[in-house]
Amino acid sequence: MRAIIYYDVEDFRVENVPTPKIGAEEILVKVRACGVCSTDLFRAIYHAAKPGSVLGHEIAGDVAEVGSGVTRFKAGDRVAVLHRAPCGACYYCRHGQEPLCDQYRKAGIEPGGFAEYIRVAPALVQKVVIKIPDSMTYEEATMTEPTACSVRAATKSVIEPGDTILIIGGGPLGLLNAQVAKFMGASQVIVSDHHDYRVKIAESLGVDYAFNARKVNVEGKVRELTDNRGADLVIVAVASTEAVHQSLKMVRCGGRICLFGDFRDVPQPNLNIDPKIILRDNIKILGSWGCSPQDYHVAFNLIKMGRVKVGEMITHVFPMEKFTEALRVMAGKRCLRVVINPSG
C-alpha cells in the first residue's frame, strides 16, 4: 500500500510500505479521509516527528477486513476511528481521567491515518470505532475526534446555562469549542481571532460575537457584553502564552480558564503568572487534552444530528501526493479544516 512517510521538515514522501496484517480481534480499515491536525503541522515544522513515521489520526474509511473474533463489524462498513482507547480499569480511568491512562497514550492504529490502510487494535475495535451513516461524508466523520476533544474541554470546564464564554483562537478547534459551548447552554459565545476570514466563518456557524483582535479591543468588548465582569469561561484554543496572559484580563473574578491549545510541539516562553491573581480573584486554570470513548460517541451524535456543523468547516481536500501543499495551505490561514484523501 501507499503511505506518506515523514523524513524531515517539508520532506514527506509517498512510498510503498507493507499493508498491515490483522489479528483475530482487529480490523483493517481502508482510509477514505484523514484530517490534518494542527499537531501534524507543528511536528512537521519543528522536527517533532520521528523520521520514518506516518502521521494522521482523524480517520474515516471502510472496513476492508475483519479478524475471526470480530462480530460488531463486517467488510464494507463505513466507520470513524479514534486512534486511542483507554484501558478502563487503571487508577486514571477510574477517576475519569482517561487521557492519562498508559494504554491511551499508545496509539492503537498502524501505521497512521495518512496511509491507504490502517490496522485497528482490539481495544479500539471494542470502544471507539463507530459506524457512520450514508448521510455523513467521510470528510465530516474525520471531525469526530477534534469535536470529542472539545466536548471534553466543555465538560471539564463545567459550562452552565447562561454562561458567557470567550474562545481565543478561531481555527477549527476554536470553532468546534464554540459550537459545543453553545450546545451546552452558554448564552453568549464570543470568538477572538486575527483573521477576518475566520471571523466571518465563526459568525456563519452561529457564534454570537466574533472579533478580529487586530482591529477591535476584545477586552473592552467582553467587558461591555458582561456588565464589566468578564467572561465566565475563557478557552484558549491556540498554543500561545501571550493568549493565556490575555485570558487573565478577560475572565471574571471566580471564573475559569481552560488551556486547550496544544503546547507540546510549539516553542513558547514559559508562563509568568502572578499567583495573587489566582488567589485573590479565585480564578481556576485547567488544561484539557484528548478525549474519552464517551466524549467520542457524544461528538459523533452532535455531528450526526447537525448540532455541530462541520461540513462548512472543511475547506480543502488533497490527495496524498499534495501533502506538502496541504501543509502550506494550512500555514497560510486562508483555510479551516484540511483533509487528505489517501484513496484519491
Is the pTM for the entire model greater than 0.85? yes
Name the DSSP class of 270: P
Label residue 134 exposed, middle or buried (CB < 10 Å: 0-12, 13-18, 19+).
Answer: exposed
pLDDT given for residue 9 in this prediction? 82
Residue 277 has pLDDT above 80, yes or no: yes
> Are the folds of 2-143+310-341 and 150-287 the same?
no
Percent of the chain with pLDDT over 70: 99
Q: Where are the domains of the chain?
A: 2-143+310-341, 150-287
Percent of the chain with pLDDT over 90: 87
Per-residue pLDDT band for 50 (boundaries 50, 70, 90) equals: confident
End-to-end alpha carbon distance in the chain: 13
Question: Each residue of 114-167: pLDDT tens digit?
Answer: 999 999 999 999 999 999 999 999 999 999 999 999 999 999 999 999 999 999
Kind and range of the H or E run holding 218: helix 218-225
The CATH homologous superfamily to which domain 2-143+310-341 belongs is Medium-chain alcohol dehydrogenases, catalytic domain (3.90.180.10)
Compute the C-alpha angle 302/237/12, nearest 5°.
Answer: 90
Separation CA 80–CA 102 (nearest Å): 23
Concatenate the DSSP letters of all residues of 10-57 into one string: TEEEEEE-PPPPP-TT-EEEEEEEEE--HHHHHHHHTT-SPTT-----
Residue 47 has pLDDT above 80, yes or no: no
Which alpha helices (H) appear in 165-322, and where do they start and end? 172-183, 196-204, 218-225, 241-250, 275-281, 293-304
> Which residue type, as a one-letter code, is found at position 119?
R
The CATH homologous superfamily to which domain 150-287 belongs is NAD(P)-binding Rossmann-like Domain (3.40.50.720)
